[in-house]
Structure 1
Amino acid sequence: MKPAGQRHKDEFAKDPAQALEQLMDAFGAIVLRTAFFYTGDSHLAEDISQEVFLRAYRKWTAFRGDSAVKTWLTTITVNVCRDKMGVRMFTEQPTEPAKLDLGRTISVEEQALERLKKSEVLQHVLRLPLPYQEALYLYYYADLSTREIAEATNTPEGTVRNRLHRAREMLAREMGKEGDFHDGSGA
């Protein structure tokens, strides 16, 4: 069964300019959210999103369609984020939400990103080591399969499954320590 939202190249226009518009409509939000997840900076995430779609435009005719378009764009996004962030990606990420600039109008995208940033579960996820954060984000938020995550991150699929398993265990322990994780028994 193909996950929801997985579309293939033949569902898009052959002309790169037309395909770009379709790609941005279909996947703009997930590319922006993924870039924000990696960077923690809404402005940098917007810059990365633009670069991702520019690369997609340039490579559209060379893209063979061996993977779903969403997987291909996620791969580009992950690579651009890693390029931009470099060493900073592997340092501990702050868990405190950034202060909003109250003197300006906030777009719908910025509001959505701010809600994501403030998410209680995400705060626990951000305390995990980066490889586990990445696996959880791409699996649960980006809705990629373990095979697609392996492709997007250039990691063996077994490693991705292992990271997901360990990340779930660590997250359950972390949330259990603070009394936030309920077993569903009503107790």
Structure 2
Amino acid sequence: MQKISSRREKNKVSEKNNIPKGEPDILSPWRTHEPLETYKDRLSFSTPEHGDLFYMIMDLPRKYRVAIYLYYYEEYSTEEIAQLLHIPKATVDTHLYRGRELLRKKINGGE
């Protein structure tokens, strides 16, 4: 009986937190389907290194890119990111780890 009631509560919470269709996505700059080439001439960076890092991050798969952006640029905790994305905290930790590993390889000339 306890499991059923907690599942019902969980479903209520997840239904309540879902963004209705037609509403703007809160992560739209990082979840865009628009190719980077269409807007990259409008971007400016304080140093060339910041630009290089941005383009490396943008080349990451979406799940890693979003986690890295929210954690490092928006300073959300892993718990907050998990709530925003409706995924377990452990998944956020994994996305951050794997995203950093991919960035490390790119920076060191691997790929």
TM-score range, shorter chain: 0.5 to 0.7
Cα distance change on mapping 1:95 and 1:172 into 2, 3 Å: farther
3-state SS of 1:114 partner: coil
Q: Which amino acid aligns with 2:87?
A: T
Tell me if the contact between 1:90 and 1:130 (Cα under 8 Å) persists in the aligned partners: no
Q: What pairs up with 1:26-175 in 2 under 5 angstroms?
A: 80-81=24-25, 89=31, 91=33, 93-94=35-36, 98-100=40-42, 114-115=44-45, 119-175=51-107
Tell me if the contact between 1:132 and 1:163 (Cα under 8 Å) persists in the aligned partners: yes
Greater than 2 Å deviation, 4+ residue runs: 79-85, 89-93, 95-100, 113-116
Shift of 1:124: 0.5
3-state SS of 2:24 partner: helix
Cα distance change on mapping 1:97 and 1:144 into 2, 3 Å: same
Distance 1:96 1:124 in 2: 17
Shift of 1:81: 2.3
3-state SS of 1:80 partner: coil
3-state SS of 1:132 partner: helix
Aligned identity (percent) is 29
Q: Deviations over 1:33-57 (max 9, x none)?
A: xxxxxxxxxxxxxxxxxxxxxxxxx
Gaps of 5+ in 2: 1-18
Gaps of 5+ in 1: 1-75, 101-112, 179-187
Distance 1:121 1:158 in 2: 25
Aligned residues: 86
Q: Deviations over 1:5-54 (max 9, x none)?
A: xxxxxxxxxxxxxxxxxxxxxxxxxxxxxxxxxxxxxxxxxxxxxxxxxx
Q: Which residue of 2 aligns with 1:4?
A: none
3-state SS of 1:143 partner: coil
* Normalised TM-score (structure 1): 0.38
Shift of 1:129: 0.3
* Normalised TM-score (structure 2): 0.61
Distance 2:79 2:85 in 1: 10
